[in-house]
Structure 1
């Protein structure tokens, strides 16, 4: 069987791959520039130089190494997978933490400082108010104490004066008594001595005056009849899974092998021309397990994967939306508080009357102190200015909000496009490794045929094999292995079986009844009928110089 196509498909694939790599290089340079510029805060010149150097290195390795080129192309659809989406969400969290979250922390700090300032003002005001309220009572108490002290001093003076008067009266009475006695004695003397009456009276009077002065002491002038007075900090995973996918694709036939491609249709068409049993069309049940690569229909596991990923992305979206909402709501709240605090400062206090106290004395001093307290209380209202503690929050970064929103929308779009993007990996691997793609298509074709086997069909085939050549017919173990290969425990217990099959028609080949291509690294094996049909030219690695189908030459050559 030969197929003639126009142009050179190998060169067309290389040209397509080169164009794709150039576009990826440009995209990588732009991405690196913005990453260096925004995340690392490099200068525009440094960011431009680093992004161009890394982009040139990336492009050079892609053109030199085919394996690196394949892995690079696999990274593009891998970005639509769970790993790429995790890296994208991780980057969104980095943007959220370095933008809205940091702004939220700053606003919380401003709110704390505003509360501390207001509390300090309130504390000082309460202290001054209590102090002012205590001043009148203290003044009144001090005034009363002074009055009591003055009254006590006055009473003491009066008491001392009264005591002196009493002493004077007693002395006067004693003097009067002495005078009476003196007069009596004088009469006696005047009447009894030889002196004249005049001489005796004069001598006795002088003695009585001296005795009166001695007895009255400080009141002796009365005897002479004289008066005296004081506030207080994921891209490597995508590359790893790209390498992981490539390794499993090349080593395992059953790995991600549920899509029907051109190689599958080629095998079915070949079996139709040979009048052998075919797989197509698929049954309704098989259509839920196997689907063409270009179909818009989703398999059951793809729908379940979308639902599971959408649930986890919904949780991440809620968290990121909470961070952004907290930032904006706190900014809005602090802005409202600041505006309200500044509006209160426009309220003018009523005109205060000044009281003057005229006069001297204790009562006047008490009134002056009370008036001073009233004036101090009026000045406290001027001290309580809310504008001094009004917060001035920094505005949110709305550009960062747009970046986060765009990346979240992209993540949700990646979930919807994930099944279709992951199918592109099959096309990339088929373009670089067409021989391996044909082997996997042959394995899938025979796997579907084995899954269709029933007990009756298998018994009939065994009976027919007993009459002819039993070599190459499926066994019970092959059927059980094919029906249970979706479970890892079955694969581990039953193992894997790799029978020899024709690469064109997928028929099982006997041990010595096939033709194999002996070119190194070529796995082409054919039945005799197919080998004659392709005119002795390997369909997988045919040399373009020979007359054969060389349209699927590997890009690795």
Structure 2
């Protein structure tokens, strides 16, 4: 019974861990997608960068020759128009390029820590339930006693029901073995060694094929087949031909205690 409860708790724990698996997979997918997008945009930013440089210069100069008054007047008037300039202009497409920002280690830790806490809670949930029961038993001992008696009686009922089901299955398989086989099956069993493996009788408990070490019940009109391990587990008593009143419940269960309800 203890192994059954342990298996149930283990199954519950595994189921809860499986329920956290989609969240973990979603986190991994999102982190991977973030890294992939950052790598793509960073590659685009590095390999798509273009820079343009434009340089231009001009010089305007008017020369007036002569020493006359008109020449001097023109030199003073038109000389103000003499200009020179040089233009240098640089431009790039940096404002049009993506500027990706990668997540740092702190961001990844912030995303992973809640998932880790959730997994730890799933693993430690059974201990929390036990602690809850211990606290409740400390403050309400009579209620705890009633709970234990109820669980014990419930386990005894389940064991009795399981014993009936297993005995019924053994009886059904034994009746199927005693049923006459088709003559063709006997002919194939004798004449074709390759088919003997599938035509052999099987253990009425575990359905293992009959071997030389198998035990065949010596009771008349029974001849139920048992493998040696099942026959030993049955304490060398055939449940097919032995009356139910003579069989102890311990022959069908892992406990040596007889079925008795606690009050």
TM tier, shorter chain? 0.3 to 0.5
- Computing the radius of gyration from Cα coordinates, the structure with the larger value is 1
Structure with the larger strand share: 2
**Bigger helix fraction:** 1
Structure 1 length-normalised TM: 0.22
Higher relative contact order (CA 8 A, sep 6+): 1
TM-score (norm 2): 0.42
